[in-house]
Amino acid sequence: MIVVGGGIGGLGAAYALARRGLAVRLLEKASAFGEVGAGIQLAPNCTRILDDYGLLDEARARGVVPDAMIMRDAVDGAELTRLDLRDLERRYGFPYLVIHRSDLHAMLLRACERAGVELLTSRRVVGYAGTEDGARVTLADGRTEQARVVIAADGLHSVARGLVVDDAPVSSAYVAYRGTTPTASGRAATVDLSEVVVYVGPGCHLVHYGLRGGELLNQVAVFESPKALAGDADWGTPDELDAAFEGTCDFVRGGLPDMWRDKWWRMYDRDPVMTWVSGSVALLGDAAHPPLQYIAQGAIMAIEDGWVLGEHVARRTAADGSVDWPAVLAAYQAVRPEHCRRVLATSRAWGELWHLDGLPRRQRNVLLRERDTYDYAFVDWLYGPTALDPADEPPMFAPVPLASARTDALAESRS
């Protein structure tokens, strides 16, 4: 079989399938395998899978297992709510950890090498088509390759997605700046690396946490771009970064000089699509469900996709080694789109909640302060075991309307 795309999702899928005894060929468009970016958060629904793959101990060693996740108001720095991540690990059985994206990518690459995946670079796929007994991909140089099944993990701008829907990426008008700083000295040395912290503010937020065993402080600054809202092509520039955070507290503004200012990431997602399979071609990862990043599930969903495929292959492999691929793809199609639709919708809603101003901001702050630290109603649907069948998918949480904030608490917050 063929997997298209050598990012975290593609490598995860290739490993999940190769460990089930399948011959897997992975086609990567770049001339070398690598991953761009900085930190990534891995919730228990992902570390559970890494443990199944035998990779969790390595991930722990290369990352940081924090004690708490804390949300603060970016304007005044006050704490709004927190998760006790050690208690969370006891609840779900697996840790919440943070790791450098390139370290996770390299771990999966090495796992694929050990499993015998054929890893090919400089193979840009420009077309997909069904065949009588499988699927065919066309490369940019005109060559073609065929397989019984093709898994398209070809990202936000997926070519394969055109087989199931005619749509385009959706701009959020938000842009992210990232930066990593050694913790040996300076401001980074004063930050508590036992915490993952997000400062939420009007039209902006800042996230920070440790990486590589605490050697680095990872920071992400995100803001809504006025130029994007105005329709300008040149948006998200460093001058907009500085202007967006003018009204935030000293700590938040103090992190901006550590951002990489020569590169920024414009934030796109796509509307959910409920059909991921066309014949013998299946979408995976951002090709199927590119999210906004607010609940930190993008790479996790891609890893879950591959694990689910691998589990259904194991269930549907006959004694002679043959795989009932129509049944595997049907099972994948039955369970993954609805879960990921929920994640995409929740990510958008959470981003709106983070960036409120005025009365809605004060209502949000009241509700978050009243939340019990050990109330897991909002994450049980997300952090539990990855569903293999639709009946295993847990119910969603019940949203709490902003208008339900106590008026007496609102009066106190105004003073």
Cβ 39 vs Cβ 211: under 8 Å: yes
What angle is formed at CA 11 by the lines to CA 107 and CA 269, rounded to 5 degrees? 110
Which of 177, 199, 209, 332 is flagged as catalytic?
209
**What letter would DSSP give residue 401?**
-
How many CA atoms within 13 Å lie on the side-chain side of 415? Answer: 6
**What letter would DSSP give residue 243?**
H
209 is catalytic: yes
**What letter would DSSP give residue 398?**
P
CA distance 91 to 44: 10
Strand partners, 3: 26, 151
User: Dihedral sign, CA of 164, 168, 174, 180?
Assistant: positive
Angle between helices 358-370 and 407-414 (to 10 degrees): 120
Strand partners, 304: none
Both structure tokens of 25: 């060929």
CA distance 252 to 283: 39
Cβ 309 vs Cβ 151: under 8 Å: yes
CA distance 242 to 203: 13
Q: What are phi and psi of 172, to 5 degrees?
A: -90, -10
Cβ 187 vs Cβ 318: under 8 Å: no
**204-211 vs 79-84, strand pairing mode:** unpaired
Residues designated as active site: 209
